[in-house]
Structure 1
């Protein structure tokens, strides 16, 4: 992991892989909650963690360099979200073809996978979910759809994702959910935040 300054009041942690991102994201959140770290925002991405609103970046960088992330042991139900999912996406046959299986096997694998929110981006409340084996990565559509309905469950590259609002998109659609994932009046507005465990469960 490497630490470098970004502007006058931010630091960027360049991580070796997504697992290291999650380890540092969790450690920095713990340190901030404990009062050991002062930062306005801690924002994970695919291979980096941004600390923004840091009064003395050089001093904070020296602190972080002396820390070692602790393994996460969080298993509380509050950190797990079941997303009721109907598997009827237009691109299920395409995903099955990429995986070399039949559609029911795609659905079985998705039901059995425990996903984790790695980071959020693209649109408010859009969570990038990891958990699928690297060999199951799928390409985006060559031409994005002009409108993907809110609640669409989709795959792209190594990630799964759920569109919180209607928007253009090129991910492969495998299903849909009625769960509200972004509400500007809620606290927090996003239902899925970094570190949250997610399962795509059958509707009740």
Structure 2
């Protein structure tokens, strides 16, 4: 069980945002977020429960229930639900670090005070968990980044970051499922496709999945 009382706020006329951590990301809190999300789907009037990073967006039908009722039920679930790790799928993602498709690699290594090879080695050595999917279809917010590799997001986002870009944003790692704007730093590229709109299951990754990066090459 995770200690502490979550903060719940309105997110429009038909949604509530539950913030379970109100601080630094915590894996145990994330596991409780997943469990409460599953339990919330059985509440009357609840249409959707979307886990974020230590938070949960709950969408409800305001004609069937109200924010006060749903909020009280979420607080009860948070206090009574047992957190549990999700048994996710394990994925191996080969990455070519640096070069024209990893243009921030050298700057990232300098920021970390390490050589390029050491920075890449530490990135690939970590075990990552898909904490949440959001921002765009199939985009994974990955926990597990070595704290020594954290790098605050860019002050000015790039307007076009390519599909397959392997990226760093603050204390999180990620992979671009499509070409889109992003303020995260680009350290490499993978050919693994995370989103296929035409597929029966369009999104490759799910919350609780485990990721290991392998080094397919390094180009300074």
TM-score by length of 2: 0.76
Counterparts of 1:46 and 1:81, CA distance in 2: 20
Cα contact 1:23–1:70 (8 A) shared by 2: no
Counterparts of 2:147 and 2:106, CA distance in 1: 19
What's the CA shift string for 1:137-181, capped at 9, x where partnerless? 213334443432210101121111111112233322211111111
Among 15, 37, 43, which residue is 2:20 paired with? Answer: 15
Partner of 2:86: 74
User: What is the deviation of 1:22?
Assistant: 1.4
Query: Mind listing any 5+ residue stretches in structure 1 that lack a counterpart?
Result: none
Residues 1:26 and 1:81: Cα distance change in structure 2 (over 3 Å): same
Partner of 1:113: 126
Counterparts of 1:74 and 1:147, CA distance in 2: 33
Counterparts of 1:2 and 1:139, CA distance in 2: 25
* Number of positions where the alignment pairs a residue of Structure 1 with one of Structure 2: 200
Aligned counterparts, 1:131-142, within 5 A: 131-142=144-155
User: What is the deviation of 1:52?
Assistant: 0.6
Cα contact 1:79–1:196 (8 A) shared by 2: yes
SS in 2 for 1:95: helix
Counterparts of 2:68 and 2:201, CA distance in 1: 31
Q: Does 1:148 align with 2:161?
A: yes
Query: Mind listing any 5+ residue stretches in structure 2 that lack a counterpart?
Result: 1-5
Q: Does 1:98 align with 2:111?
A: yes
Further displaced range: 181-190 or 17-26? 17-26
Residues 1:11 and 1:148: Cα distance change in structure 2 (over 3 Å): closer
Partner of 1:85: 95
User: What is the deviation of 1:27?
Assistant: 1.0
Partner of 1:63: 73
Cα contact 2:11–2:17 (8 A) shared by 1: yes
Counterparts of 1:146 and 1:63, CA distance in 2: 41
Partner of 2:36: 28
User: What is the deviation of 1:108?
Assistant: 1.1
SS in 1 for 2:166: strand
Q: Does 1:52 align with 2:64?
A: no
Counterparts of 1:120 and 1:74, CA distance in 2: 14
TM-score by length of 1: 0.81
Aligned counterparts, 1:121-132, within 5 A: 121-132=134-145
